[in-house]
A and B are shown apart, each in its own frame.
Chain A
Amino acid sequence: MSIVAFGNWLTSTALSQLIQRTHGAIADIQVVHILCLATLFALALNLSLRIAGRGLAAEPLASLAGRFVPAMWICLGLLFVTGALLIIAEPHRTVGNPIFYVKMILLLVAIALTLWLASVARSEPEKRAALHVAAAWLYMLVWTGVIVAGRYIAYR
């Protein structure tokens, strides 16, 4: 099945039709998507700052990661659900769009970095290695890329 045919099939599903026909549904799903992204971005920023020895430095890294990383997974879960609904509602805006795949690749990198930084926080909580600090800033750069690519999807 080609991407175009897949997009056509998704558009014809009952869920896609329901979202398309419900006034304001796409905008409201995007609102939840952006709220989750804002929260996730701020939590990622705090984790990165703490790894760099800044931000909420009075709290041990392992404790901060123990609080923030589970909240980040919840945000990611909601981002997946709302993102999937947006793809189902408007498949031609995403599945045929190269920028969408850039966003997905960056998202996979961000998830891999979340897993790695969380494990660093657990296993070597107070060791501030240059590699970890560099990875923390790369982490923020990748999340920034996810947001930029997400916005550019609308313009291609």
Chain B
Amino acid sequence: MDAGFLDWLQSTGLAVAISEEWFPFVESLHVITMAIVAGTIFVVDTRLIGLTSTRLPFSYVAERMLPWTWGAFVCSAVTGTLLFIANATGYFDNTPFRMKMLLLVLAGLNMLYFQRVTFRTVSAWDAGRPPVTARLAGTISLILWCGVIAFARWIGFTATG
């Protein structure tokens, strides 16, 4: 990405205000919304793996949890963007930040594949034990989201600027 654009981004009035005054507040909102995203995904994934909520159909657990997940994800993306612009050059070159973004993309692709392929047969396993492909998708999702949180925390220890 153009370094001039990143410099411009972090010199905007909004970025300066966040950097100098609002960073802890925006970061707190980011942590809360990320906690809801990851926590509700853990509830869905552990049902998909067949470890928890086994008396409830998978589609019911997903239907009840995912609106919270998506709502929190949108808030998390907004707060994450605000945090990013406060130190765009520092974060863009930061390896844990790049790893976090990569894992987010992989988590999205895993969810997309699951929705398009595995979920099509949900009526056959909705109330019972999900098939291997579904359990694998749940396990991969759990690992990826733990990775997202781990790299997110590492950003604070390694980012410059």
**Which residues of A are interface residues toward B (Cβ below 8 A)?**
24, 26-28, 30-31, 34-35, 37-43, 45-46, 55-59, 63, 67, 144, 147-148, 151-152, 154-155
Residues of A within 8 A of B27 (CB): 151
B111 proximal to A (CB < 8 A): no
Closest Cβ–Cβ distance, residue B110 to chain A (whole Å): 19
Which of the listed residues A34, A42, A63, A147 has the most CB atoms from chain B within 10 Å of its own CB? A42
**Which residues of B are interface residues toward A (Cβ below 8 A)?**
23-24, 27-28, 31-32, 34-36, 38-40, 42-43, 52-53, 55-56, 60-61, 64, 68, 146, 149-150, 153-154, 156-157
Given contacts A34-B31, A152-B28, contact A41 B36 (CB under 8 A): yes
CA distance A63 to B94 in the complex (A): 45
CA distance A59 to B32 in the complex (A): 26
Closest Cβ–Cβ distance, residue A37 to chain B (whole Å): 6
Given contacts A34-B153, A56-B61, A152-B28, contact A46 B35 (CB under 8 A): no
List the B residue with the shortest CB-CB distance to A27: B157
Residues of B within 8 A of A31 (CB): 149-150, 153-154
CA distance A154 to B100 in the complex (A): 22
Could you say which of A46, A55, A147 contacts B32, with CB atoms under 8 Å apart? A147
19 of the cross-chain contacts (CB-CB < 8 Å) are A31-B149, A38-B35, A38-B39, A39-B38, A41-B39, A42-B36, A43-B43, A45-B36, A56-B56, A56-B60, A59-B56, A63-B55, A147-B31, A148-B32, A151-B27, A151-B28, A152-B24, A152-B28, A154-B24
Closest Cβ–Cβ distance, residue A50 to chain B (whole Å): 10
Residues of A within 8 A of B35 (CB): 34, 37-38, 41-42, 147
B53–A56 touching, CB < 8 Å: yes
List the A residue with the shortest CB-CB distance to B37: A38
Other than A35-B38, A42-B35, A42-B42, give 13 A-B pairs with Cβ distance below 8 A: A28-B150, A31-B149, A34-B153, A38-B39, A39-B38, A42-B36, A42-B38, A46-B43, A56-B56, A58-B56, A59-B53, A59-B56, A148-B32
The 6 closest A-B pairs by CB, nearest first: A42-B39, A38-B35, A41-B35, A38-B38, A148-B28, A151-B28
CA distance A43 to B39 in the complex (A): 7
Given contacts A31-B149, A34-B149, A42-B38, contact A56 B24 (CB under 8 A): no
Residues of B within 8 A of A34 (CB): 31, 35, 149, 153
CA distance A67 to B55 in the complex (A): 11
CA distance A149 to B141 in the complex (A): 29
List the A residue with the shortest CB-CB distance to B150: A31
